[in-house]
Structures are given as C-alpha cells and as structure tokens.
Amino acid sequence: MRAVQLVQPGQPLRMRELPVPEVGSRDVLIRVAAAGICHSDVHYRAGISAVRPLPRTLGHEVAGVVEKRGSEVARLHPGNRVCVHYMATCGDCEYCNRGYEQFCTSGKMIGKHRDGGYAEYICVPARSVFLLPSEISWEHGAIMMCSSATSLHALNKARLKAGETVAIFGAGGLGMSAIQLARAFGAKQVFAVDMQETKLAIAQRLGAIPINAAAGDPVEELQDRTAGRGVDVALELIGLPQVMRQAVRSLAVFGRLAIAGITDRTFEVAPYEELLGREAEIIGVSDHLAQEIPPLIDFVRRGQLQLSEVVTQTVSLDADEINGILDSLGRFGRQIRAVITP
Ligand SMILES: [Zn+2]
Ligand SMILES: [Zn+2]
C-alpha cells in the first residue's frame, strides 16, 4: 500500500510503498477514506515534537471503512463506516479499566507512536474504533477526532452546566468546536476572546459574543458584560501564560478554568483574590476519553456541532501536496484545515 511517511525530522515527508498491516486478534484494518492534516503534524515533521522510531506514517485524525477484523472482534464488521480515537490503548491497565485511557500505561498515539492515517490502510485496536453515521462526511468524521473531541473533554472537565456563562479564550480550531458545544450544553452566554477579527467573525456566526483582546482588557470586558459577576467556566485553548492569567481573573464565584493550551512556561495566580476567595478551580485537560466519542458523534450528527466552517481543502494521498499543506500551516499558523482523501 502507499503511505506518506516521516523518514527524517526536518525533511519533507516521503511516499513509500509498504505492506498492508497484519491484523491482530483484537485489531481492525481500516481502508482510510479521510485523514486530517493537523498542526501537530507540522511539529512532528520539523522535529519539534520527537517521533520515534522512524520512518513513521503520520496522521491521527482518521475515518474510513472496516476492511478486515481480528478473530476476537465481534462488534465491527467489514464495510462499517468508522472513525478512530487517536490513542491505541491496551484495555487492561488501571487507567483503561477506569475509563481514563488517555493515561494508558502502554498507550500509543496513532500517527506518532505507531503508524497513522496518511496511508491507504491503518490497523488499530477495535476498542479505538467507533461507528460513523452516514450523515457525517468522511472529512468531518476525521477532523472531529482531534480538536473537537478535546474541546468536548475540556467542557466536561470544567463541568459546564445549562444556564452557565462561558468564556473561550482562543477562537481557533479548538475554540470553534468549544463555542458550539458550549451552546449545545445549554450555556446562557458564550464569549469568544481572540485578537483576530476574522476568527471573531466566525465565532460570532457560531453564536458567540466576540471580545477582541487587542482592543482592550478582555477581563474588564467580561466583568462588564456579566455585571461584575465573572464567568462560570473559562477555557484556555491557546497556551499563553498571560491568557491563562486573564482567564483566571475572569472567573465568577465557584468558577472553573480548564486549560487545554500547551506551554512549558509558568503563569502567576494571586491565590487569595483569584482562587480561594472565590473557591475557583484550575483544571488541566489532556486529550479526551474514548467514552466521549459517541456523544461527540451525536452532537455532529444532530448538527449542533457544524464543521463546515472548518474543513477548507482536500488533497490526495500525495507527498508533495501534503508537504505543501504542512508548509503553509507552519508559515501562517492559520486554521487551514486540509483533509487527505486517498
Ligand atoms: Zn490533530
Ligand atoms: Zn491501558
């Protein structure tokens, strides 16, 4: 089969001819119908985030058709439309047993620690595979498995309830899903904080109240618009210390900040004023749970999570085309979402 692989960090991905993977007894072989090109793939190719061992087929946002199943797999059948949770997990360890398989002791991310979806076929454990209803396109079925799933996990971790107010810091890929999901949860008001007018315009179309952080202090703005109360839930989806601080300062009494933006820098908190005095909480968000995928599929199927604003381009399984997309993602950092449809 054809697969587009990272052979050496810092070098373009290369098309290689590989054998179709062997299917283990608990595995499923999927013919890839769509594989999202994600911003993290830019980091993998550049060597900023180490991928080992090489060569490795990238691609962790995958949808396709079941081609073959292992002898112990009864739940799935050849011909099923499916999407893939990006962690291949064991199902036997302490974390898998408790339903927190993103901490699986032998968990491997597809497209990083094991071969991913930039290929004609991918083999994954059946427990990572979910039926994809026919109302959801291949492209949407693929891209919802990364940023949308993590947005849903962030809202779950923040325990968002109907009637509450939410501020979403960062109206990029995660934010676009978070805004819509927060509305589907029944949030009373959803604020979107960003510095780019184009992103804020999309956020507004999706039902958020836009707040331009370049035009003034977003904390003051949020306090003003909530009559000095603050928001019940804030999500930080950017990974900037100053934004994390703003998000903490925006919280109401009993407010919860869930942080999904990644940074290795620290940020300051004034313990009494910003946390203890309001019994506020700061919560870390890491990936998402397999059990969150079926509800996510339902949100998309019911049209509560629209992804048509997100997919902007499809490319074929071709190393040059994929490298070109990765180049432009790296250069502009824009939310150009491209999906490989082999
Ligand atoms: Zn991704
Ligand atoms: Zn496990």
Span 42-99, pLDDT tens digits: 999 999 889 989 999 999 999 999 999 999 999 999 999 999 999 999 999 999 999 9
Over residues 149-178, the pLDDT tens digits come to 999 999 999 999 999 999 999 998 899 999
Q: Is the dihedral of CA 97, 102, 104, 108 positive or negative?
A: positive
Backbone φ and ψ of 42, nearest 5°: -65, -45
| This prediction's pTM | 0.93
Which structure tokens are listed for 270?
């004034």
Considering Cα of 202, then 84, then 74, then 290, what sign does the dihedral take? negative
Q: For residue 37, which of 331, 332, 316 has the smallest C-alpha distance?
A: 316
CA distance 206 to 181: 10
- Compute the distance between CA of residue 219 and CA of residue 222 in angstroms, rounded to an integer: 5
231 C-alpha to center of ligand 2: Å? 36
**pLDDT above 90 for 212:** yes
301 close to 135: Cβ distance less than 8 angstroms: yes
Ligand 1 centroid from CA 270, angstroms = 34
- Which ligand lies nearest to the CA atom of residue 112 in the structure? 1
Give the pLDDT band of residue 334 (cuts 50, 70, 90).
Answer: low
Phi-psi region of 4 (alpha: psi -120 to 50; beta: other; left: phi over 0): beta
User: Which residues are close to ligand 2, an ion, with C-beta < 5 A?
Assistant: 89-90, 93, 96, 104
The CA 86 to ligand 2 mean position distance, Å, reads 14
CA 10, CA 273: separation in Å to the nearest integer? Answer: 46
3-state percent helix, strand, coil for the chain, nearest multiple of 5:
30, 25, 40
* 88-129 per-position pLDDT tens digit: 999 999 999 999 998 999 999 999 999 999 999 999 999 999
CB atoms within 10 A of CB 185: 21
Q: At what angle do helices 241-249 and 218-225 cross, to 10 degrees?
A: 20
Residue 336 scores a pLDDT above 80: no
Ligand 1 mean position to 342 CA, how many Å?
Answer: 18
CA of 291 to the centre of ligand 1 (A): 18
CA of 62 to the centre of ligand 1 (A): 10
